[in-house]
Structure 1
Amino acid sequence: MAQTISNETKNEAMKVAKATQKPGQTKEQTKLIAQGIEKGIAEYKKQQKSKARAKDKQRKQALKAKARDSADLESNTPEHTTTKNQQILPWLLLILSWIGFIGWQLLG
């Protein structure tokens, strides 16, 4: 499998190779060092892509599991769940309104 290395990577590798160039080093040696750096950069990018794919795959699996769990939870819970406060509130309001009405009639 032939790897194609981008021009940006080649330029970056050449800059690094020239920056670390020793006195008396030939252009061919610098070029070989630049090629080694290119391969290193390409390998690093390949590893990062692989890690990103694995991370994305894990994130998607977590989202699927969360969706599946919430769907299971919704299917297991009854549709009309009421708490004790929800049952008492209408009666309390009814009684308060009658007390208010009777008080208004007695005072009026």
Structure 2
Amino acid sequence: MAKKQKVSGQVVTEALQVAKATQRPGQTKEQTRLIAQGIQKGIEEYKKRHKEKARELDKQKRKLQQAQQPNNANNSDAPEIVTIYKQSRLSWGLLWLSWIGFALYAAVYNPF
């Protein structure tokens, strides 16, 4: 027994709007209806694939979370490692060197 999926009214109206927007002069209503049905099937197929991808991503995400949870439970007694970032002296040294170089250049080539 094949289940027939119900189509939302929004998909039907959207497909009909697209079909009417691309309608050619002299095209019958029947042809437009068939085009709308094809567009509707395309929209349904797209949504179905999108849902499948989302389900797969959720499954992978859940597996990763479950794999990480036991590790966190075992290491709860261990102290947390905190990383403190120290600013590099090299950047400040280069800044001062560039300002000194600019001052010397200005003094040599632009005498007062």
Q: TM-score, normalised to structure 1's length? A: 0.65
Instruction: Name the Cα RMSD after superposition.
Output: 1.6
Q: Structure 1: give runs of 5+ residues left out of the alignment.
A: 82-108
Take 1:33 and 1:3, find their aligned partners in 2: how far apart are those partners? 20
How many equivalent pairs are there? 77
Q: How does 1:80-91 map to 2 (within 5 A)?
A: none
Larger relative helix fraction: 1
Take 2:76 and 2:64, find their aligned partners in 1: how far apart are those partners? 18
Q: Flag the structure with larger Rg.
A: 1
**Misfit runs of 4+, over 4 Å:** none
Take 1:61 and 1:48, find their aligned partners in 2: how far apart are those partners? 20
Task: Tell me: higher relative CO, structure 1 or 2? Use CA pairs within 8 A at least 6 residues apart.
Answer: 1
Take 1:58 and 1:72, find their aligned partners in 2: how far apart are those partners? 22
Structure 2 residue 26 is the aligned partner of structure 1 residue 24: yes
Give the share of equivalent positions with the same residue, in percent.
Answer: 52
Give a deviation string over 1:49-79, Cα, whole Å, max 9, x none. Answer: 111111111111111111122224447x6xx
